[in-house]
Amino acid sequence: MGFLTKQSVTELEQINRALENEGLNLLSGESDIKRLGEGSWHYAYLIESEQLVLRIPKKVAYDEAVAFNRDQLTAEYGSTKAFYKIANEAQKGMCPEHFHYFIDEDLTYTIESYVGKTLGLEGQTQQQSKQYGRDIGEFFRALEEIDPPYEGIGYLEVGENGELKGGLDMELRACIVEERGEYEEEFHALLSYAHGFNKERVSVIGNELIPNRSIDREKRILTNQDTSPENLIFTKDGVKMIDPVPLLYTGTSLAANHVFNYHTFFHTVHDTRRYGKGNYHRHVPLLRAHADGFVEGYTQDSKQKRMDLHIEVFLKLVTMAHTHLELLKEETLTKEQVIRFGTKDQIEKRLHIYLTELESF
């Protein structure tokens, strides 16, 4: 177990250094440590007496050493704090109410309210799963009513004066139009792919949907890219959201990202190291019920919103299929690509699943 620090410390010492820094009671021994889990980048601990979660960054992520980068950590933690605030305005109690972070070369951590224990996917019925999806859909729709506190587009980074801002300095409309052009290129690259699917049918579907992508109906918001089941806490009192990847973009795009992931992506990548522990292939009906509920909650009987979302989900499928096609062209895959996407055989099988889905869209 290695923490992001230059010092040689035990787990208990690093936890207690964070607690001392926060003015909280220290743990008296190893037996007091309550491990909540291990993400790709952080270890998480429950501080039971305070009902807080302490997260400490790891020294190694995806088999690579992590370098201390103050600006990167400030952007990550600062954007999480901002997202939690906006999320709780959109729907009270959706995210932790309290969030604080501290960044130093020898001690970096975040500490936030504990929002409860999750039922996980295995603890849900299909009906519950659909309701959780509906709740998240309503939440994503409510986010679209809130103006973002930052300028720019994309993932947040630290600007020249220490302020947070989107990494791209461009108008939303121009960004959506440019991105639509990229989707069209990816779509045509898929159509020139050699074999194994009904190109004529897919071509007709794409040529109908892509030009109708929602542009002028979109507004710039602060939203969340990572709503995987490991970052949702499914409680008896509803669903909660933690550990976001916030970004400034259109609501429809990120709503579609959620639908695509739950309907298609998660269960197709169950054979990768990155997603394997979720066992998503065992929960396909639940994941799809969740996606269906999300669509209902997000579109709220608006035919226009439903069509905009439908087109955007199609684009997510196109770009994921194209990513797989590009990976197959690589001479060798990087360690991180293998962790995320698996071997070339797995990637090729998955590509054919996506092409089949495009046919029936």
146: alpha, beta or left? (left if phi > 0; alpha if psi -120 to 50)? beta
pLDDT at 41: 86
Burial class (CB in 10 A: 0-12, 13-18, 19+), 195: exposed
Contacts of 4 (CB under 8 A, 6+ apart): 56, 57, 58, 59, 66, 68, 108
Report, as an integer, the average pLDDT of 247-267: 98
Ranges of H-type helices in the chain: 11-21, 70-90, 126-143, 172-191, 199-209, 251-260, 266-268, 284-299, 303-329, 335-341, 344-359
The model's pLDDT over 122-162, given as tens digits with 9 standing for 90+, comes to 999 999 999 999 999 999 999 999 999 999 999 999 999 98
Give backbone dihedrals phi and psi of 300, rounded to 5 degrees, phi first: 45, 55
Q: Which two tokens stand for residue 118?
A: 């999750």
- Per domain, the residue ranges of the chain are 11-113, 126-360
The CATH number of the structural domain formed by 11-113 is 3.30.200.20
The model's pLDDT over 311-357, given as tens digits with 9 standing for 90+, comes to 999 999 999 999 999 999 999 999 989 999 999 999 999 999 999 99
The model's pLDDT over 196-244, given as tens digits with 9 standing for 90+, comes to 899 999 999 999 999 999 999 999 999 999 999 999 999 998 999 999 9
pLDDT band at 195 (very low <50, low <70, confident <90, very high): confident
pLDDT at 193: 83
Rounded CA separation 113/50 (Å):
9
pLDDT band at 8 (very low <50, low <70, confident <90, very high): confident
pLDDT at 62: 78
Burial class (CB in 10 A: 0-12, 13-18, 19+), 303: exposed
Beta-sheet strand order (sheet of 99-102)? 35-38, 42-47, 52-57, 109-113, 99-102
The CATH number of the structural domain formed by 126-360 is 3.90.1200
Tell me which residue of 274, 271, 259 sits closest to 317, measured CA to CA: 259
pLDDT band at 194 (very low <50, low <70, confident <90, very high): low
Mean of the per-residue pLDDT values of the chain: 95
Q: Is 83 helix (H, G, I), strand (E, B) or coil?
A: helix
pLDDT band at 358 (very low <50, low <70, confident <90, very high): very high
Look at residue 1 and tell me whether its pLDDT is greater than 80: no
Look at residue 37 and tell me whether its pLDDT is greater than 90: no
